[in-house]
Structure 1
């Protein structure tokens, strides 16, 4: 039973990712044809996509309950049918995930600014949480959304992150012509909880959205940095899953700049965040 449910969960998340990628491709194709007023059409299309995904789970639950209500109330099999319908709507993920919120406030320690919003292990729980969150583009500056595999903490000091790094996608003004923050953030989370990094899934710990006045960014955190072939494979997969245009570069930054003096010599380039950049795609 567990294997069947897990496979079903993966299928649902895969379908979500595919629909979002298709929407991104349509928006990218039409981006050059839109006028100043066309931006409203683009935002509307994205909003429709998000609303469709948000209401999907609720519609399934309502339809299932309505279908069972037509059965005879005196039928002894009714409770069993209803229970089976509810079981079908529960789709466990392969791992437990924790969603965090960080609001940087001056005068407070980093730990005091960090808040765990929820821990979930089912597809339905993810959508219920996402439905109550402010969308990425409306997150105030100096605030972060963080989604990490439990029990990993969203900080460099955690033992799972100490030897790792992160692939970073920056949303500067020029890059926002090709990318939509809301769609990319949702696609990043779905790819993560859906195990879309194949054999490298165990090396991917979490994803972080950072809202900043100068430049927003999405960062995919890994547990290692020294295996160049593995890191490039994860980066190429990230580009594919989020559907990042070729003209947009993503950078792999080292969490702890003192972790490896050998690899730091490979590239002296600095990112806009000031972290050491080891690789670029």
Structure 2
């Protein structure tokens, strides 16, 4: 019995040391290759477009990404006229930004039925493609992604920096379609921002 008490005390000390080591604040976070900014847009006709755009948060680690993702509403729960935009830090989610003005976007349009079946899953995979740099060297051409929630059908787009860089564009489109596991008949189209703003529109389709 005399020898059991010191052992018990030693065990308590070990538990204390273990608790200190297991302090969550001492965990090492896993850095992402880029720092990202999540924006939210709500269409209020009484305000200007820039006033309707609000920065939610920035992150540059895997853990902070998931903390943010799990905290916000899914796209399917947003009201019509609302957008989420995830862009590399320093790039604003607008065509006029210097990194966007010569670029374009891969665009996927979803029908109304897909809002509850596919929208949230496709958006999550899109985010993971971006923060995980899933497009190999072509990831350098990626500026960000946007999800638009609209009455007639929702849209998800990946924005790229240079609409003339065809190799990077096709790599991004092909890998993106594979990552989403889209049906063979499903198509996504690429369009330059200049074409988007003009009546004469042209697409590259996968």
Q: What's the TM-score once normalised by structure 1's chain length? A: 0.63
Show the counterpart of 2:165: 227
Indicate which of 195, 198, 202 corresponds to 2:140: 202
Show the counterpart of 2:3: none
Matched, 1:144 2:87: no
Matched, 1:189 2:127: yes
Q: 2:13 & 2:179 partners in 1: Cα distance?
A: 42
Aligned-residue offset at 1:172: 1.7
Aligned-residue offset at 1:230: 2.3
Change (3 A) 1:111 1:85: closer
Aligned-residue offset at 1:229: 2.6
Matched, 1:98 2:23: no
Show the counterpart of 2:204: 279
Residues 253 and 275 in structure 1, CA contact (< 8 A), matched pair in contact too: no
Show the counterpart of 2:101: 162
Which has more helix, going by share of residues?
1
Aligned-residue offset at 1:129: 0.9
Aligned-residue offset at 1:101: 0.1
Query: In the comparison of the two structures, how many residue pairs are matched?
Result: 194
Show the counterpart of 1:115: 54
Q: Secondary structure at the match of 2:194?
A: coil
Matches within 5 A, 1:1-281: 71-73=14-16, 75=17, 79=20, 81-82=21-22, 86-88=26-28, 90-173=29-112, 176=114, 180-257=118-195, 276-281=201-206
Show the counterpart of 1:50: none
Aligned-residue offset at 1:70: 8.8
Aligned-residue offset at 1:258: 9.3
User: Structure 1, unaligned stretches of length 5 or more?
Assistant: 1-68, 260-269
Residues 112 and 154 in structure 2, CA contact (< 8 A), matched pair in contact too: no
1:148-168 deviations in Å (ceiling 9; x for gaps): 000111000100001000000
Which has the larger Rg?
A: 2
Query: Which aligned runs of 4 or more in structure 1 are off by greater than 2 angstroms?
Result: 69-73, 81-88, 227-230, 274-278
1:85-113 deviations in Å (ceiling 9; x for gaps): 8334x111111000000001112111100
1:55-104 deviations in Å (ceiling 9; x for gaps): xxxxxxxxxxxxxx99332x5x864x34698334x111111000000001
Which has more strand, going by share of residues?
2
> Superposition RMSD on alpha carbons, in Å?
2.6
